[in-house]
Every structure is written in C-alpha cells, then in structure tokens.
Homo-oligomer: A and B are copies of this chain.
C-alpha cells in the first residue's frame, strides 16, 4: 500500500470522507493499486480525480476505503451531472462552474453550497463513469473481462471484487434531521426540504407523497365516520359518499402532480436534463456498436427481448395469477368445510378450526408472494433490459398485478360472486387492519430492534463511548457497513398502493377504511422515518422529478374503483328496492352512471393542468431564454 499513500500527500488538509468502498477480503494487491490509481488519476488520463484513503482498523483489515473529493472537483462534478440550483434572482438554473458566482449562497469558501447528499451523488456518478481504456481485464482477475468504455466499478461489482459502495452518514446532520422529523411529538408537516438534502429527491418525494396522501384521505375519513357512528345504511348517503370518493380520488391524483411539480422545481430536479443512461450492471450481450452513442458495448436484440417478454414472462404471469385464483377457491372450500364441521359438532375444537383456513391462506399467500417476487426478479433480469429504468418498470408491473390479485381477489369473490356484503365488510376490515399492523412490525420495528441489538454488541466489543456522535470514524464505518441496505421505495409505494385499493375499491361498503388508512399513515411516517435514519445504511441520493409508474398505477386503481363502486351500489338492497319492477332498468341505470363518472374523471384529468401556472411560466421563461441565447450565438 506504500504507493497509494503517496496520493494522500496531495490531499487537501481537510479530507472529508463521503463514500465508503468495501473490497472483498483478500483482493489482490495489483488490483487495489490499479483501482485506487484510476480513482485519483487526472480526468485527462481517464481517472476520476477523487481522493481515496484506506481505513485502518484495529484488526488490520485493509479492505475498506474512504472516498472524498476537493471542493473544486465537486463543483465541476455538479456541472457534469447537470445539477440545477437556485440563482441570485430566485430562478432555477443548471449549475455551471463558469457561472458559479450567479448562484445563491455560492462563495468559494462555502463548502455547504452543495449538500452532502449531492456530493455523494456526484462521487457515485464519477465512480460509475470510471471507464476501461484499453484494459482487456481487471488486473489480477483474468476472468473479469473489460472492453473500452465499460464501467470499471460495475464490472468490479459483478465479479464480486467490490463488495459494496455506500455513502457515509453525517451523524450531526442526522441528529438534527431526526429531531425535526420525528424527535418530538408535534403536529405539522415533515421537514421535506431537509429530508431531501439528507436523503435525496426520490426518498423525499416518497415521504412527500405519503404526507400528501394522508392529508388527502382526511376528508374521506371525516365523511366516513358518521356512516359508522350512526350506522347509516340509506343507499342515497352511500351513493353520495361513493361519488364524492371517486371524484375526490381523481382530484387528489391530479393535484399531486401539481404539488410534485412545485416541490421538484424547488429542488431543481424538474429542470434536470435526463443523462444518457448506461446499461444496467446485469445487462449482457454480444459486443457491438450502440446505435445511439456509437460506442462499443454489449448489444442485445430488442426482438429477442420482446419474444421473452410476450412468450415467456406474460404466460408465466398469467399462470401465476390463475394459480393464485385456484388457491383462493380452495380457501373458500376449506372455509365452507370448517363452517359445516363447526355446525355439525359444535365444540371448542371446532370453533378453533374456524380460524384454521384463514391462517393457512394467509401463510400460503405470504409464501406465494415471496416465491413470485423471486420469480419476477429472475424473469425480468432474464428479459435482459438494457436500462435500469426499464427493468424496474417491468418488475413493478409484474409484482403489482400479482399483489393486486392476491390482496383483492378474495374481496372481489365475496362481493361479486357470493354477494355477501356483511362478509365483505368484515373481510375488508380484517385484511386492512392486520396487513397494516404486520407491515409496520415487519418493516421497521423488527429491523430496528435487531439493529439496536447488533449495535449494542458492536459497542460492547469496541468498548467505545455511549453517545452516538462521539463514535470514531472507524467505528462509524464498521457499524454502518453492517447495516441493511435500503432497496428503494418500491415496497413502500406498494404498501400505499394496496392501501389505496382497500380505501377506494369498496369505499361505499366500508367508509371507515379511510380512517384506518389515515391512522396507519401517521404512524407509517414515523416508522418509515425511523427506518431510514436508524435501520438502514444511508442510500445514495437519486434525483427524480416525479413518482413515475406509481402515478399511473394509482390512476388505474381509481378507474377500477369507479367500476367496483358502481356495481356495489347497484347491488345494495336499498337500490334494488327502488327498481322492484325491472332489474334491467337498475342495471342500465348503474351502467349509465358508471360511464358518466368515468367520462367526468377523464375530463377532469384532462382539464386540470399538470403544472401550476407559475411553474409553467418559469419553465417557459427558461425555454425562452435558452432559445434567445441560441439566437445570440
């Protein structure tokens, strides 16, 4: 390691560790040497021009490195990744080093101009863009092939030499954030801007959505309470509630787009140009020329991918859906059987037996969910998508459809085949409440408890001080590298999505669902915050301008809920009593109302602009300026 230390001499005195790189134990010397040299090498030589420092631990492990960068390097990096910052005139502009003086809060000695999350994002971007020049392989590992332009870090990751890269927590900042976020009991908004500064836009947007969604549910919850309290059963009240619900859900989804635009404009991501996406790590193919960049990279025929999607994945998903329905039918048979058994020989044992089918079904569903998730990940990976975003979209779609069926199929069956509204209400309540409790437990409290225990053990072993902030850097790194990895907002959104389903699909049968959803979301905010701050490694910030496919998923759910609610109302005995002479008239009326509601929904979605007027004007102004600048050239 003698040579790599020579680079340390060139460090600024105030080396600030930002990102941790953990190499596999026993990585060859020549590999480490080559890799660190590439990291510190000048841009002109194809390096990343960052700073790297080995972390010397007590037991002498040398497989952990800290990466930092000089202030100037970070500013140049901010220009490369196309960061958008606020100017002195309060407009948002793409940061360039030459125009740095025009930006708000910029000063050559202000090292807080870029947030720590931004610095870490820049370093991640620079590391991932460290590309092979004419190396044919990773030195010391002939089986890890390289070709000009291949990302070195991605190859190191896929060949297992690089165990992980993660950004360091900032203990002090985190403490402040925790305090303002969930440290004290208070009524008010979350500190979204601070969350964004610490965790990046994707996560801040998730918490923003969670908060917005909770507020948006409150009117539904408030209107729903009297239905429960006074046990209102008049159909006209239910019709009113359902109609309000359906239109309201359209409005909230449209308004969210506007709020999202306001937030992401303030954060700069709304204006951020999408960078050209590199192939995702798992992508493989024959070496060819990328038609877009003209560079050498693995190429995989899009027709082959389409064939895999439509001839393998699609049938497989359909089969799984069918199987899931089949299991549900068995469950209902079992349920019927247990009921019959209980009626025949009434005993303590038989009344216990009544619960058995539900428990078995819940367990089977959970197992099926897990297996399916693995299968979906395997299949989507096998479909060999070039882009991470397209991989994610296909995975989300697969998982979404299956989860939707698993959660709601039994409710649909009860509602539209058994016609048992009492049972529907009961099942809905049970499913909603148990799933919420289980989720909160499995997602945050359990990992938190495990984490706490682990920390205590670590602390004991290290005999270190009690308070968090006094931990030494070595201890901090050792602690954080053992923490779980946060795999993105997927599961959190999925939970919200299913909750939205419980609330809206059968809203006219169980108006209290919104109340439970609101209560759950309030604790969800706290437990998710806890999870982010305490349980997981700090995730890399990921700039994003919207919640992506989830917007579409929620909108689709709200369309489906129009249909289900109309049918439910049409089936209610009160409405049926109105149309005693002709069932045909009833169905026609319901169909007419449904089509009208759908038409109103689409018109509303069309009429409400996706961006508020002032954001539209600001965007138009920027576009106008760039056009004018082009003309001036």
Number of A interface residues in the complex (CB < 8 A): 24
User: How would residues 581 to 595 of chain A score, 1 for a CB under 8 Å from any chain B CB and 0 otherwise?
Assistant: 001100110010001
In Å, the complex CA distance between A591 and B583 comes to: 15
> Which parts of A381-440 form the interface with B (CB within 8 Å)?
none
Q: Give the residue among A291, A302, A563, A631 with the most B Cβ atoms within 10 A.
A: A291
Nearest B residue to A588 by beta-carbon distance?
Answer: B587
User: A292 interface residue, CB < 8 Å from B?
Assistant: yes
Contacts A292-B620, A292-B621 known; A273 to B584 CB distance under 8 Å? Answer: no
A56, CB-defined interface residue at 8 Å: no
Which A residues from 284 to 306 make CB contacts under 8 A with B?
291-294, 302
- A143 within 8 A of partner (CB): no
A613 proximal to B (CB < 8 A): yes
The answer for the CA separation of A287 and B273 in the assembled complex, in Å, is 35
A345 at the interface (CB under 8 A from B): no
Given A273-B627, A624-B276, A624-B292; A302-B583 close (CB under 8 Å): no
Those 6 A-B pairs whose CB atoms lie nearest each other, nearest first: A292-B620, A292-B621, A587-B587, A291-B617, A276-B624, A583-B584
Which B residue's beta carbon lies closest to that of A613? B302
| B residues less than 8 Å from A59 (CB atoms) | none
A27 at the interface (CB under 8 A from B): no
| A80 contacts chain B at the CB level, 8 A cutoff | yes
- Identity of the chain B residue whose Cβ is nearest the Cβ of A273 in the assembled complex: B627
Q: Which residues of B contact A613 (CB under 8 A)?
A: 302
The reply to whether A80 and B617 form a contact with Cβ atoms under 8 Å apart is no
A90 within 8 A of B: no
Report yes or no: B292 in contact with A617, Cβ–Cβ below 8 A.
yes
Chain B minimum-CB-distance residue to A587: B587
State in angstroms the CA–CA spacing of A588 and B584 once bound together.
9
A348 sits at the interface (CB 8 A) = no
Q: Does A110 lie at the interface of the complex (its beta carbon under 8 Å from any beta carbon of B)?
A: no
Contact yes or no, A291 B587, CB < 8 A: no
Q: Decide if B583 touches A631 in the complex (CB within 8 Å).
A: no
Q: How far is the CA of A275 from the CA of B623 in the complex (A)?
A: 9
Closest B residue to A614 using CB positions: B291
Q: List residues 552-575 of chain A with CB under 8 A from any CB of chain B.
A: 563
A interface residues (Cβ-Cβ under 8 A, vs B)? 80, 273, 275-276, 291-294, 302, 563, 583-584, 587-588, 591, 595, 613, 617, 620-621, 623-624, 627, 631
Q: Verify A631–B80 contact, CB threshold 8 A.
A: yes
The answer to whether A291 touches B621, judged by C-beta atoms less than 8 angstroms apart, is yes
Cβ contacts A to B, 24 pairs, < 8 Å: A80-B631, A273-B627, A275-B627, A276-B620, A276-B623, A276-B624, A276-B627, A291-B621, A292-B620, A292-B621, A292-B624, A293-B621, A293-B624, A294-B621, A302-B613, A563-B595, A583-B583, A583-B584, A584-B584, A584-B587, A587-B587, A587-B588, A587-B591, A591-B591
How many Å from the CB of A310 to the closest CB on chain B?
10
Report the bound CA distance from A587 to B590 in whole Å: 11
Which residues of chain B are within 8 angstroms of A294 by Cβ–Cβ distance? 621
B-chain residues with CB within 8 Å of residue A292 when the two chains form the complex: 617, 620-621, 624
> Which of A563, A583, A613, A624 has most chain B Cβ within 10 Å?
A624
Minimum C-beta distance from A35 to chain B (A):
24
In angstroms, Cα B293 to Cα A627, docked, is: 11
* A116 vs B510: C-alpha distance when bound (angstroms): 68
Residues of B within 8 A of A563 (CB): 595
Given A292-B620, A587-B588, A591-B591, 6 other A-B contacts at CB below 8 A?
Answer: A273-B627, A275-B627, A292-B624, A293-B624, A302-B613, A563-B595
With a cutoff of 8 Å between Cβ atoms, the chain B residues found around residue A620 in the complex are 276, 292
Report B-chain residues with C-beta under 8 Å of the C-beta of A302: 613
Q: A621 to chain B: which residues have CB within 8 Å?
A: 291-294
Cα A563 to Cα B596 with chains together (Å): 12
Which partner residue on chain B sits nearest A584 by CB separation? Answer: B583
* CB proximity of A129 to chain B, nearest CB, Å: 11
Determine the residue in chain B with the shortest Cβ distance to A276. B624
- A424, chain B: closest CB distance, angstroms: 19
Minimum C-beta distance from A558 to chain B (A): 14
| Residues of B contacting A276 in the complex (Cβ-Cβ under 8 angstroms) | 620, 623-624, 627
Residues of B within 8 A of A624 (CB): 276, 292-293
CB-CB nearest in chain B for A582: B583
Contacts of A80 in B (CB 8 A): 631
Q: Which residues of B contact A591 (CB under 8 A)?
A: 587, 591
How many angstroms between the C-alpha atoms of A273 and B276 in the bound complex? 20
